[in-house]
Amino acid sequence: MKKYILLFAGIIFITLSFAQKKTFYDFKARDIDGNEIALKKYTGKKVLVVNVASKGEFVSQYKQLQWLYTHYKDSNLVILAFPCNDFNDHEPGTEQEIKQFCAKNYGVTFQLMSKITIQGKDGHPLYDWLQHKSGNGFQDNDVKWDFNKFMIGEEGNFQGYLPGEILPNDRVVIEWIMDR
């Protein structure tokens, strides 16, 4: 009898451990217009999450992000760009200013999200998940600058990270998009 109780307790522990693991789809975020979006909306899509900034040295990556989206949106790609002012005051603008800047200068048609904090105690829960292996189940990612890229698979699982200096149209990103 004691064996069965221990076995049953073990099964419950394992079940709860798996049940507690979050995926990308367990989060919500606001778009640039302030509308709340349940990220489960992107189920079955590959999602590239990028922390963006209008004043930083990598701002020209908006052009590559738009190119990537234009060429691969029909291949199941979604881009979610999160403006962030955490690094050297590179995104001081309001949501409206950011939206206008992106449209005017880069013709952005991919999804711009609401401006967020990604570092520290006020960091957005999604970015906490993206940056910590304990949440994403894959790896720790030390975000220290703008235009970091997080690759999310079609089942909402974390699949990879690229630092800001890697361009959005890099071979690694293209191969990830095209991998079926």
**CATH classification of the domain holding 29:** 3.40.30.10
CB-CB contact of 92 with 85 (8 Å)? yes
Does residue 4 lie in a domain region? no
Flag whether pLDDT at 60 surpasses 70. yes
Flag whether pLDDT at 95 surpasses 90. yes
Does residue 140 lie in a domain region? yes
- Average of per-residue pLDDT values in the chain: 91
Containing structural domain, residue 59: 23-178
**CA geometry: angle at 116 spanning 52 and 125, to 5°?**
115
Does residue 9 lie in a domain region? no
Domain count of the fold of the chain: 1
Look up the pTM and report it.
0.88
Does residue 2 lie in a domain region? no
